[in-house]
């Protein structure tokens, strides 16, 4: 699913001007392209199928075992019921339902109304489908995983949320400069090969005054926690200190708010 209103800011090829044009649309409803083919100014074709626009094609986009696990068949269907619905409760040791997390993200975004918002590393679309009705704006979910994007599309249809879903790499966001009023990113920073580059790209696609809402995991302080994170780091995950998060945001050209932490889980806001 891809809103026609997004076509003008899509830029899958950095050397080309932004904009994709419909080449052959097989299915469309209410200004949302459900399936078909789009073409860039250079003539490269990109497919909309299975609920999302695929800008990676045969490339996995994965740079670590942690990324690869999201590409496994069934990963999308199992992600939210088995992990995402209870992850923050398990990590923080306190009741932390998804509704509480979404409320914090909305607060970091400045409780916006209208505009365009990006769920960066959307997985099965938890942030995206909750932001859509609460912001009243256009929402785009981006991920590298076909199973996750298919599940995000399924859950969006079931909830009635209107989304655009794009398969692309967070290190090279396929959007024109200043395309978004806000970006939300839940846990993805810990999985990225180059979080500094991804944050620079995030700053680039944010409009002046735009907001970033970031949730992630800090480096453990306990011996047991450090040992566990050492094992997870071997699979490509990385963990940060509060000061490292702050410096990453500043280096990307963002102005960070005060970071808040609940156990190893942090929430951070920043402005462009």
pLDDT tens, residue order, the chain (272 aa): 999 999 999 999 988 899 999 999 999 999 999 999 999 999 999 999 999 999 999 887 776 666 767 777 788 888 899 888 899 999 999 999 999 999 999 999 998 889 999 999 999 999 999 999 988 899 999 999 999 999 999 999 999 999 999 999 999 999 999 999 999 999 899 999 999 999 999 999 999 999 999 999 998 877 777 777 776 776 678 899 999 999 999 999 999 999 999 999 999 999 99
Paired strand residues for 269:
213
CA distances to 14, 58, 120 from 49, in Å: 23, 14, 20
The pLDDT value given to residue 14: 87
In-domain check, residue 19: no
Asked whether residue 81 is domain-assigned, the answer is yes
The CATH code of the domain that includes 185 is 3.40.50.150
Residue 37 domain-assigned (yes or no): no
> Is residue 21 included in any domain, yes or no?
no
pLDDT value at residue 253: 97
Residue 32 lies in a domain: no
Q: Is residue 42 part of a domain?
A: no
Bridge partner list, 142: 120, 166
The DSSP element (H or E) to which 229 belongs, if any, is helix 223-234
Q: H helices within 109-222, ranges in order?
A: 126-135, 146-159, 195-205
22, part of any domain = no
- CA dist 173 and 42 (Å) reads 18
User: What per-residue string of b and e applies to 230-268 under the rule 16 or more CB within 10 Å gives b?
Assistant: eeeeeebbbbbeeeebbebbeebebebbebeeebbbbbb
Give dist(CA 159, CA 143) in Å, integer: 20
Quick one: pLDDT at residue 235? 66
Cα–Cα distance between 6 and 141 in angstroms, integer? 12
- Asked if residues 73 and 147 have their Cβ atoms less than 8 Å apart, the reply is yes
Q: Is residue 34 part of a domain?
A: no
Element (H, E) at 103: helix 98-108
- State the total domains in the chain: 1
Per DSSP, what are the bridge partners of residue 48? Answer: 36, 53
- Whether this prediction's pTM lies above 0.95 is answered by no
Domain assignment of residue 174, given as a range: 51-271
């Amino acid at each position: 699913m891809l809103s026609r209103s997004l076509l003008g800011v899509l830029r899958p090829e950095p050397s080309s001007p932004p904009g994709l044009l419909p080449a052959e649309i097989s299915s469309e409803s209410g200004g949302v392209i459900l399936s078909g083919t789009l073409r860039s100014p250079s003539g490269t074709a990109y497919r909309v199928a299975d609920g999302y626009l695929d800008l990676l094609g045969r490339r996995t986009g994965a740079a670590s075992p942690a990324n690869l696990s999201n590409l496994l068949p069934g990963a999308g269907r199992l992600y939210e019921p088995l992990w995402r619905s209870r992850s923050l409760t398990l990590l923080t040791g306190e009741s932390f339902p998804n509704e509480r997390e979404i409320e914090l993200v909305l607060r970091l975004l400045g409780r916006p109304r209208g505009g365009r918002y990006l769920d960066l590393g959307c997985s099965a679309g938890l942030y995206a489908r909750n932001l859509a009705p609460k912001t009243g704006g256009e929402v785009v979910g981006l991920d590298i995983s076909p199973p996750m994007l298919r599940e995000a599309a399924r859950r969006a249809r079931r909830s009635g949320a209107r989304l655009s879903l794009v398969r692309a790499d967070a290190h090279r966001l396929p959007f024109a400069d200043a395309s978004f009023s806000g970006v939300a990113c839940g846990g993805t920073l810990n999985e990225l090969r180059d979080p500094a580059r991804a944050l620079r790209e995030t700053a680039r696609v944010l409009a002046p005054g735009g907001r970033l809402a970031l949730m992630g995991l800090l480096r453990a302080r306990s011996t047991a926690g450090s040992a566990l994170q050492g094992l997870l780091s071997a699979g490509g995950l990385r963990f940060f200190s509060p000061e490292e998060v702050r410096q990453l945001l500043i280096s990307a050209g963002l102005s960070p708010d005060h970071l808040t932490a609940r156990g190893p889980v942090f929430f951070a806001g920043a402005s462009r």
